Each structure stands twice: as C-alpha cells, then as structure tokens.
Structure 1
Amino acid sequence: MAFKKLKKTVAVLSIAALTMGVFAGCGQSVEEQTSDNGANDDKIVIGFSMDTLKEERWQKDRDVLMARAKELGVEILIQAANGDDNKQIAQAENLISQGVDVLMVAPHNAEVAASIVEAAHEEGIPVLSYDRLIKNSDVDVYVSFDNEKVGRLQAEYITKLVPKGNYVYIGGAPTDNNAHLFKKGAMDILKPFIDKGDINLVYDQMSKDWQPSEAQKHMENALTANKNKVDAVICANDGTGGGAISALAEQQLAGKVPVTGQDAELAACQRIVEGLQSMTVYKPIPKLAETALDTAIKLAKKEEVETNNKVNNGKIDVPSVLLEPVVVDKENMMDTIVKDNYHPFEEIYKNIPEDQRPKQ
C-alpha cells in the first residue's frame, strides 16, 4: 500500500493539470471533483474515466457518485475527456498510475477503450464498464440499464400512437455501443410493422457524439426528402429529440409529430408537459451510480459481485448488472420524475400556467 500512497501523492498535480477546465462551469473546483487527495493509504480509491461532462445527464452521474463515495468513506477520482479518445486514454493511464483500486470507465468509443482495460489489468486493477459496454475486452463487470429494452419501450410507445405511416429513426453516436442496442431494441418492435407495410422507415441515421445539432440536420433532411410527410420520429435520447423537435418547429410541426427520447433530461420533461415531446425513457441515475460504486467497492475488496445477466462484448460474456428503465410521459410525470425528486416540480412545469398544472 505504501507504493500506492506514494503514487497518489505524486500524481495530485498531474490530475489537476489533466482535468483543469473539464469542470469549468460545474460549480466545483478540481480539488473538490477529485475528492480527498490527502486520504490515508488504507482508503479504497476508485478512478472514473468519463467520456463527457457536457451533458446534464453525465453531470448528474458525477454528482451522485461524489456524494455516494463521501457517504461510504471511499475516494473517487473523476476525469472527463469530452469526446476525445486520445484524451480519455491518457486520463485513464493517469488514474492507473495513481494506483487506484478499481477503474470505472464510461467509454467514448466502445472499441478504443479496450486498450484501457488491458492497461489496467497489467497493473492488476479491475475495470467496471459504466453504463456503456467496452467492446472486445476482458472487462470485469458491466453496470447499466437494459438498453435493448430502452429501444423497445420507445418503439412500443410510438407505434401505439402511430401504428401506420412514415417513420424517422435518429440514433446516437455510432461509437457508443448503447446506441446500437437502443436501435436494435427499437427495430425488433418496428420490423413486423415494416414487413406488413404499415410503417415505412423513410430515414435512418446515427448522430455523431450524440450531438443535437446533428439530429436537427437529420430531421431537416428527412423532412425535405419526404416533403414534410413524416408521421413519427424515434430519437435515441433527449438531446437528439430536442434537435429533431427544433427542425419540426421550423416547419410548424412541433407537437404534431410524436417524438421519443431518453434520459429524462429537464428540458425533455419540460417539452413533454408542454406537448412538444411524446415521452422519454427514465433511467434513474442515482440507482445506476450507487449500484456501480457499490459493485466497484466489492471488486476492490475482492468480494463476490452479484450480477443478474451476461452481455457479450465480442470477446467474452461480461458479468452484468442491468437495471430496469421506465417510460415517462405527461400522464405519469408526477408519479416518476417528480416523486423521485429527479427534477423539481417548479422547473418541469415552469412554462405551464399555474391553473393548468397538476396538484402536488
């Protein structure tokens, strides 16, 4: 343990240098984000290499993990690469060099991140794949939601609203394995409708780095190609959903064409109660973050990890903990997002006249 303590002490400056600016605008300093650098050498230290902190959803992951780590008396060092594969590899190597007990990784690129697993294992450090599966690697455990089910829930919801017509599918980042799982789940539901000729999939594109601007361009292209004759839009998450709705608004179609989402972002919840977005898939981030951290601690202690599934990553069947996603729309917003204090009631309904808001 003495060697780990030495490496942690030496690396404080390097982690600050690597992360400087990553957390700008998040209301916390680098020291607060990297948590308890003066910890004793017996404290469990968990490194977390994140793809991004540019999205509300991932900021929530970070905040819950920091709070949970403090509650459990463990140290967590967090770095985010914001979509840069080389930077994520360098940051992960930095965390490994500090002698973390476990490395959690939410990869930007599911394939590229395999090198991170290999580097960690060379130092005897187990790796937990967080929310996004690391492909073609010997990653130790995967903690996420049932991502194929997310896609199925989106498609089931929208096909009940629109069982026939022209459909657009706007997916997520092609580098993110989850994006492919969401699409697979959705297509499992859509295929029988397509085969019968009830649904015509007129546009199908992924969106680089989950960028809403990419999704907006896709929606604009779909509308142009089909002379605005689009009946339903399945968007893989709320960010891409927001981009699609912006394009629909330009053609006075926002609120008239059903649009799906995922992540239960505040802006999406606002759009749902305003009638601009049909639904989102709620994946309770506190449950994911707490489950992942608890699992990481067991890995650090070399205790048995309880899993409920296995997911093949192209190389092995990865022991997995898959949590259940939940459909949220205008009807159950109060019983899910508001009840769980995921977003404040006042913020969700701020654009709704008070006499039209549901009672708390």
Structure 2
Amino acid sequence: MSVNRIRRRNLLVLLSFILVLVMAACENAGNGGVSGNADVPEAAPSPSSAVDGAGGDADADMTEKPVKIGFAMDTLVEERWLKDRDLFRESVEALGAEVEISASNGDDAVQIMQAESMISAGIDLLVIVPHNAEATAAIVKKAHSSGVKVIAYDRLVKNAEIDLYVSFDNVRVGELQAQAITKLVPKGKYVYIGGAETDNNAHLFKDGVFNVLQPMIDSGDITVVYDQWTTDWTPANARANMEEALRANNNQIDAVIAANDATAGGVIAALEAQGLAGRIPVAGQDADLAAAQRIVGGTQTMTVYKPIHTLTLKAAELAVMMAKGEIPDTDRKVNNGKIEVPSVLLAPISVDKSNMDATIIADGFHAKEDVYRHAESE
C-alpha cells in the first residue's frame, strides 16, 4: 500500500472519530446535558425551526404580555371612590391583567394629561371616570387615534364616540330618592341640593327625582323652594346651599333631597346648626358609611345603595374582554349627545333603617359594628 493511500485512510478515520464526538456532544446538549438512557423531555423547537410561520405563533404565545388597563379616575376624596379603585384593581388582576390607576382630584387638565400619559405608555384599553362630562371627550379622541378603546365608568362622557358605558341606572337612583321622601312628605316645601353641574350623573339623578315630583308640583301639593347645583360635590358647598335655602324660607322646609351622601352630610350639618336635624327628612345616595350611621341615628332618612363590587367586577370583565378584541353583548343604549352608546346599567337599591341589615351589611359593604357604633354610643 502506498504512503499516500495510508495517509488518506488515517485522515478518514480521524474525521470519522471527530464526527462521532460532535454528534454525541449535540445529542447530549439536546437532552439538557443528561447522558445515558434516561427519559428526557424533548426540547422545544426554536423559532428558526418553524415552518410556514407556525413557530412564530408559538413564540408569540410564550412571550405574550398581559393585557394592561388604564383607570383614569376623577377623585379619591370621597369614600366610595376609594372602594371603586381597590375593587376594580382586584377584579382586573384576578382576570390576569394589569391595571394602572390615576386620580386628577377634580382637575380637567390633569385628568387629560394623566390619560394621555397612560395611552402613550401603551395601555390596551382606557376606563375613565370623567370629572367633566364634556372636557373628557378630548381623551376619547386621543385614545381612538392611538387605537385604544374607552369605557366610561359610572359617569357618561358627553359628545364623544365612547365605546361602552358601564354604570347604574342613575335616573332610577333619583326616582328611588323621591319615592322614599314623598311617601313620608306627600305635601310641602322641598329643597333639592344637586351634584356638580359638570357631572352628567348629577343631571340624571335630578331627572329621576323630578320624574316623581313633577306631577305633585303640577297639582300644587309640592313646591320646590330651592334648587341648586353643588360645585365639585363637596359637603361644604352643599352646606352653604342649604344654609341659603333655610334663610330664604325662614327655616320653613319640609323635605330635602340631596344628590349624594356627601352633599346630604352638608345639608344635615346646616340643619343641625338650626336644631332641625332629624326633624326634616333628607335623602342621599352612595351608601357611604357616614350616611349609614346617620340613617340608624335618625338624621338621614335614606340612601341609595349601588353595589360597587358588582359594578367593578362587571367593568373589569368587559374591559379585559374588549382589550382582547372581543365585542360585548349589550341590550341598552344611552345617548350622549353624539351617538347611542352601548351601555350596561345595573339596578340600584333603596335603603333605610328597616333594610340596612339585609342590604348594605349583608353584602359586607359595611360592617355592622361600624354602622351601629355611633348610634350605640349615644
């Protein structure tokens, strides 16, 4: 055998040996570094091994980010909005999504800036509690230009192509207030202390109240001697309104309907200063703890309970669904001045001393010891 042939044979043997080593090393690496005959799960295919884009979808599933919801709130000053914030966050996170929350403390410019910041940061859907029903139309326009849908939470955004409205039947809230008070005072001088004129809900509450009062006004049984909005819903402004109503009528007032429990608190403070608290029926709504305490204590007649846990859960479910591209099935529409907005409206509940335990307390909205603590200490 020639020297050249021997050299070629040795080179082939060497190359074969190297090839065996390389193949063994690759097999060992593919098995996660485990040698022998142990059963090892087959390694997931790399994106580059995909055919016709199938691997691309798998890779997208592996790296898919959770849905992110923005919640742009008006205020956290009132007790109920703290509950909305906390319960909404819990509901969204329970659905596997993320939530970013802001509160503008009643400043339209701040609310718009906060919403725009969330949109720019890449939220998938915006839920908004508008401070000003008209001004927040700019937020809806900005969101839509960025491909982000918008849900109006509890308060309607006016003159905007809002995608969904989730709230309670707020006209019904006002009707429940008026029905409760007119049952006690079918004739006499009435005072209406409204909410913030910039809040569309305040108008809906008032519509409901006057749906009930108007026939009695027309018959002459009821006279509304004072009717005023309350700037920013604050108890101090509501008290000032009630003080003015008392002065103008020489304290001769028979009943008061206040747009919510915070304004009712201001009304009752004004009545207390004149020794009239507990003698003049007062209606509110929101089922605030202080209102529940006033009801069992006898200075507030009733409130309207809107189960916030139901609202937050429903809003969270719809927000996550829509953020994923799904279209919710709704059977109600509310006109906001521009379009008929698809709406989900939940039922409110009238609450007084007789059904406090069966509603607010039974639902765990307030603890019984908290509601009755003040009354028991007197």
**1:77-92 paired onto structure 2 within 5 Å:** 77-92=100-115
Q: Take 2:327 and 2:227, find their aligned partners in 1: how far apart are those partners?
A: 42
What is the DSSP-based 3-state SS (H/G/I as helix, E as strand, rest coil) of the residue aligned with 1:156? Answer: helix
Amino acid at match of 1:329: D
Structure 2 residue aligned with 1:262: 285
Is the aligned partner of 1:335 residue 2:335? no
**In 1, are the aligned partners of 2:92 and 2:320 still within 8 Å (CA)?**
no
Amino acid at match of 1:108: H
Q: Take 1:148 and 1:352, find their aligned partners in 2: how far apart are those partners?
A: 32
Deviation at 1:304, TM superposition (A): 2.3
Q: Output one character per residue of 1:101-155: Cα deviation in whole Å (capped at 9) or x when no partner.
A: 1000000000000000000000000000000000000000000000000001100
**In 2, are the aligned partners of 1:262 and 1:282 still within 8 Å (CA)?**
yes
Match of 2:317 among 277, 281, 294: 294
Deviation at 1:306, TM superposition (A): 2.0
Structure 2 residue aligned with 1:94: 117
Is the aligned partner of 1:311 residue 2:334? yes
What is the DSSP-based 3-state SS (H/G/I as helix, E as strand, rest coil) of the residue aligned with 2:226? Answer: strand
Match of 2:190 among 167, 182, 186: 167
Identity between Structure 1 and Structure 2 (%): 58
**In 2, are the aligned partners of 1:308 and 1:322 still within 8 Å (CA)?**
no
Is the aligned partner of 1:252 residue 2:275? yes
What is the DSSP-based 3-state SS (H/G/I as helix, E as strand, rest coil) of the residue aligned with 1:128? Answer: strand
Q: Take 2:375 and 2:273, find their aligned partners in 1: how far apart are those partners?
A: 22
Structure 2 residue aligned with 1:124: 147
Q: Take 1:231 and 1:185, find their aligned partners in 2: how far apart are those partners?
A: 20
Amino acid at match of 1:157: A
Match of 1:106 among 129, 139, 143: 129
Is the aligned partner of 1:284 residue 2:307? yes
- Name the larger-Rg structure: 2
Structure 1 residue aligned with 2:76: 53
Structure 1 residue aligned with 2:266: 243
What is the DSSP-based 3-state SS (H/G/I as helix, E as strand, rest coil) of the residue aligned with 2:282? Answer: coil
**TM-score, scaled to structure 2:** 0.82
Amino acid at match of 1:304: I
Q: Take 2:93 and 2:165, find their aligned partners in 1: how far apart are those partners?
A: 23
Deviation at 1:41, TM superposition (A): 5.2
Structure 1 residue aligned with 2:91: 68
Q: Take 1:206 and 1:250, find their aligned partners in 2: how far apart are those partners?
A: 21
Structure 2 residue aligned with 1:133: 156
Structure 2 residue aligned with 1:20: none
What is the DSSP-based 3-state SS (H/G/I as helix, E as strand, rest coil) of the residue aligned with 1:349? Answer: helix
Change (3 A) 1:42 1:70: same
Runs of 5+ consecutive residues of structure 1 not aligned to the other structure: 1-39
Structure 2 residue aligned with 1:233: 256
Structure 1 residue aligned with 2:369: 346
Structure 2 residue aligned with 1:205: 228
**TM-score, scaled to structure 1:** 0.87
Q: Output one character per residue of 1:228-258: Cα deviation in whole Å (capped at 9) or x when no partner.
A: 0000000010000000000000010000000
**1:349-360 paired onto structure 2 within 5 Å:** 349-353=372-376
What is the DSSP-based 3-state SS (H/G/I as helix, E as strand, rest coil) of the residue aligned with 1:214? Answer: helix
Q: Take 1:316 and 1:239, find their aligned partners in 2: how far apart are those partners?
A: 32
What is the DSSP-based 3-state SS (H/G/I as helix, E as strand, rest coil) of the residue aligned with 1:353? Answer: helix
What is the DSSP-based 3-state SS (H/G/I as helix, E as strand, rest coil) of the residue aligned with 1:127? Answer: strand
Structure 2 residue aligned with 1:31: none
Match of 2:66 among 40, 43, 56: 43
Q: Take 1:139 and 1:180, find their aligned partners in 2: how far apart are those partners?
A: 19
Q: Take 2:300 and 2:190, find their aligned partners in 1: how far apart are those partners?
A: 15
What is the DSSP-based 3-state SS (H/G/I as helix, E as strand, rest coil) of the residue aligned with 1:264? Answer: coil
Q: Take 1:335 and 1:81, find their aligned partners in 2: how far apart are those partners?
A: 35
Is the aligned partner of 1:151 residue 2:151? no
What is the DSSP-based 3-state SS (H/G/I as helix, E as strand, rest coil) of the residue aligned with 2:122? Answer: coil
Q: Take 2:329 and 2:74, find their aligned partners in 1: how far apart are those partners?
A: 26
Amino acid at match of 2:272: A
Q: Take 2:329 and 2:263, find their aligned partners in 1: how far apart are those partners?
A: 34
Q: Take 1:115 and 1:158, find their aligned partners in 2: how far apart are those partners?
A: 39
Deviation at 1:351, TM superposition (A): 1.8
Q: Take 1:55 and 1:208, find their aligned partners in 2: how far apart are those partners?
A: 14
Q: Take 2:94 and 2:158, find their aligned partners in 1: how far apart are those partners?
A: 32
Deviation at 1:68, TM superposition (A): 1.2
Deviation at 1:200, TM superposition (A): 0.7
Amino acid at match of 1:308: D
Q: Take 1:192 and 1:65, find their aligned partners in 2: how far apart are those partners?
A: 40
Q: Take 2:148 and 2:311, find their aligned partners in 1: how far apart are those partners?
A: 22
Amino acid at match of 2:262: G
Q: Output one character per residue of 1:305-329: Cα deviation in whole Å (capped at 9) or x when no partner.
A: 0223100000000000000000000
What is the DSSP-based 3-state SS (H/G/I as helix, E as strand, rest coil) of the residue aligned with 2:278? Answer: coil
